[in-house]
A = this chain, B = another copy of it.
Amino acid sequence: MSVTDELLANNAAYAERFTGPLPLPPAKHVAVVACMDARINVYGVLGLQEGDAHVIRNAGGVVTEDEIRSLTISQRLLGTEEIILIHHTDCGMLTFTDDQFRQAIQDEVGVKPTWAAEAFADLETDVRQSIARIRTSPFIPRKDSIRGFVFDVATGRLTEVE
């Protein structure tokens, strides 16, 4: 049995105790942008319930064009007003450079990605960079509450990046 099949069995149990449907727009009018890291259970970390917040995740919790797309849809079509960014300690993105990553792929498959891996050398600096990318986007209407945090994978605690 594949892991996917095992997780589908879990879903059957989830559906047994599920009560829905809930409304489409997020009840708390919040969008979260977090790293894809397996140790960050965003609903747990922030005490979210089903229906509360949009959750956008990727390698690093960085803001690229696709996160601008998602945040634009989140705010303009579904009424979210606050943005929470979450990077975390012990992040894989701290362990390599874009140049190394792209060269390794070129060496192995013969094609170099046209995109950056978005690796970073400092967590707080990259949180600020992610906030700056949102602030400079003309497509995101509500920028009054954009706050960035580092999640500590040892303690479960969020620390704000000032």
Check A4/B145 contact, CB under 8 A, given A24-B92, A70-B36.
Answer: yes
How near does chain B come to A33, taking the closest CB pair, in angstroms? 9
Q: Are A20 and B59 in contact (CB under 8 A)?
A: no
| Chain B hits for A30, CB < 8 A | 3-4, 7
Interface flags, A112-143, vs B, CB<8A=1, else 0: 01010110000000000000000000110000
Given A31-B36, A38-B50; A70-B58 close (CB under 8 Å) = yes
Q: With A59-B74, A70-B58 known to touch, is A43 a contact of B41 (CB < 8 Å)? A: yes
Please give, as numbers and ranges, the residues of chain B lying within 8 Å of A44 by CB-CB distance.
14, 43, 50
Q: Which of B10, B93, B117, B155 contacts A47 (CB 8 A)?
A: B10
Report the Cα distance A8→B40, complex, angstroms.
15
Contact for A26 among B38, B58, B156, CB less than 8 A = B38
Tell me the A67-97 residues at the B interface (CB within 8 Å): 67-70, 72-74, 76-78, 82, 84, 90, 92-93, 95-96
Whether a CB of chain B sits under 8 angstroms from the CB of A161 is: no
10 contacts between A and B (CB under 8 A): A2-B82, A4-B145, A6-B28, A8-B158, A18-B155, A20-B153, A36-B55, A37-B54, A64-B69, A77-B95
> Which residue numbers of A lie inside 8 Å of B, CB to CB?
2-4, 6-15, 18, 20-22, 24-31, 36-59, 64-70, 72-74, 76-78, 82, 84, 90, 92-93, 95-96, 101, 104-105, 109-111, 113, 115, 117-118, 138-139, 145, 147, 153-158, 160
